[in-house]
Amino acid sequence: MRAVLSRPKLVDQIAPKIKPKSRTHPKRPAIHKLEIVSILLRVSAEVAGKIDCTKCANCCKEMGPRLSKRDVGTISQFLGFTPEMVVSKYLKERKDKAGEYLASKIPCPFLKKNRCSIYKVRPKGCKSYPHIKNAESILRLVDIAGKSSICPIIAGVMDQLKAEISNTLRSPQK
């Protein structure tokens, strides 16, 4: 599901969103959240670079996509179907969110031989998975951490991040 992680100037985007004195814990030595973001970006690129998503596809097997009407339109054009045909063949409307869709079954019906059969037009959420590529997502990482039992990239990032943050906390403060 993953696209290759790049290292754009995310730190510059994130910096203004972080309060200058924010700490990981009020009683612990200061470590600026921006330091954690920097570590996270570097570790994410390192971990993702070692994992071949085409041999995993766990996110497609375990969670499947969330689709907007626009996603459905794009996929229907790609497949040469009408949007209604795509919905009836592959999807179901979300009960809790009108106008959004989920796969009708899991594993995702677009997954064929461990590859996404609509890769070029896959939904926005699939493109950005595992959601560690933009400022908002990084700041929501705590929520994503709950998925580490499914996604080996997330699990690897969490492990390494934890180790590196605790090393930083043990280092003398400048």
Residues interacting with ligand SF4, by CB under 6 A?
A: 1-2, 51, 53, 56-60, 64-65, 108, 110-111, 116, 118, 122-123, 126, 129-130, 151-153
CB 38, min distance to ligand SF4, A: 22
Q: Which residue has the tokens 């992680």?
A: 5
- Is residue 41 within 8 A of residue 7, CB to CB? The reply is yes
Of 24 and 68, the one with the shorter C-beta distance to ligand SF4 is: 68
- Sign of torsion over alpha carbons 117, 143, 140, 144: negative
Q: What is the DSSP-derived secondary structure letter of residue 41?
A: H
Of 10 and 60, the one with the shorter C-beta distance to ligand SF4 is: 60
3-state secondary structure of 40: helix
CB 146, min distance to ligand SF4, A: 14
Got the DSSP string for 73-111?
A: HHHHHHHT--HHHHHHHHEEE-SSSTT-EEESSSS-TTE
CB 73, min distance to ligand SF4, A: 15
Of 33 and 64, the one with the shorter C-beta distance to ligand SF4 is: 64
Of 4 and 142, the one with the shorter C-beta distance to ligand SF4 is: 4
